């Protein structure tokens, strides 16, 4: 590694026709750093609660529901925001999710859910997509904040204790379920199904 650094320094600093290449390399490195910084800044800016609720479709529907849940306000003062549940924390899956979110921008432009009535008509489909992803990833985003090691089973109801302790001890539920299977509707209203009418 040290030999490589010495060679690179020598190549970069010696006067020759390679000076043009050194300048080009320098420009490339600076441009790469600026691009990476801008890209990272944009990724983080789109993970804020303010960004997620900046359009009326979210602000007037799911955000209002979320504000009534324990994820928004609770005794411990810890708040989970939209990106905590809907965007993976790991870099690779986060980039993939951000690319998928471009479809949401298209639907914003198309006005797919721009009224409460349109949103309610699509609620089951939208929720189904989120539940499918959470099932496929074994509720990865839930596990970013919730850990069995930090749970006080004595403060849970009897049925919850029975289910959660089995998962904590074995790593999976007997039914093969994951967090979202039992906790649908934890942050947003459940979609109405025909039997609910």
Per-residue pLDDT tens for 21-37? Answer: 667 778 888 999 999 99
Sign for the CA dihedral angle at 165, 169, 174, 177 comes to positive
User: 100 in helix, strand or coil?
Assistant: helix
State how far the Cα of 25 lies from the Cα of 21, in Å rounded to an integer: 6
State how far the Cα of 184 lies from the Cα of 124, in Å rounded to an integer: 12
Longest dimension (CA), the chain: 81
Q: How many other CB atoms sit within 10 Å of the CB of residue 21?
A: 12
Question: Of the candidates 51, 49, 42, 83, which has an alpha carbon nearest to the alpha carbon of residue 67?
Answer: 49
State how far the Cα of 117 lies from the Cα of 114, in Å rounded to an integer: 8
Angle at 110 between CA 98 and CA 68, to 5 degrees: 65
The tokens of 5 are what? 């650094």
State how far the Cα of 42 lies from the Cα of 54, in Å rounded to an integer: 15
**83-98: pLDDT as tens digits:** 999 999 999 999 999 9
The answer to which of 10-19, 75-84, 123-132, 145-154 has the lowest mean pLDDT is: 10-19
pLDDT (0 to 100) of residue 124: 93
């Amino acid at each position: 590694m040290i030999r490589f650094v010495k060679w690179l320094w020598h190549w970069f600093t010696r006067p020759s026709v390679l000076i043009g290449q050194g300048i080009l390399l320098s420009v490339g490195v600076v441009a790469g750093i600026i691009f990476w910084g801008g890209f990272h800044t944009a990724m983080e800016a789109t993970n804020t609660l303010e960004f997620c609720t900046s359009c009326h479709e979210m602000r007037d529907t799911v955000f209002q529901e979320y504000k009534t849940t324990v994820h928004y306000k609770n005794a411990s003062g810890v708040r989970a925001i939209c990106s905590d549940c809907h965007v993976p924390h790991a870099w690779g899956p986060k980039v993939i999710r951000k690319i998928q979110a471009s479809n949401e921008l298209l639907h914003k432009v198309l006005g797919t859910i721009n009224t409460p009535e349109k949103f309610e008509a699509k609620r089951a489909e939208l929720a189904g997509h989120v539940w499918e992803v959470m099932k496929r990833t074994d509720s990865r985003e839930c596990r970013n904040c919730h850990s069995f090691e930090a749970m006080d089973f004595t403060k849970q109801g009897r049925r919850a204790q029975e289910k959660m302790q089995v998962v904590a001890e074995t790593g999976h539920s007997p039914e093969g379920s994951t967090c979202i299977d039992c906790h649908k509707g934890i942050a947003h209203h459940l979609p109405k199904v025909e039997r609910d009418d």
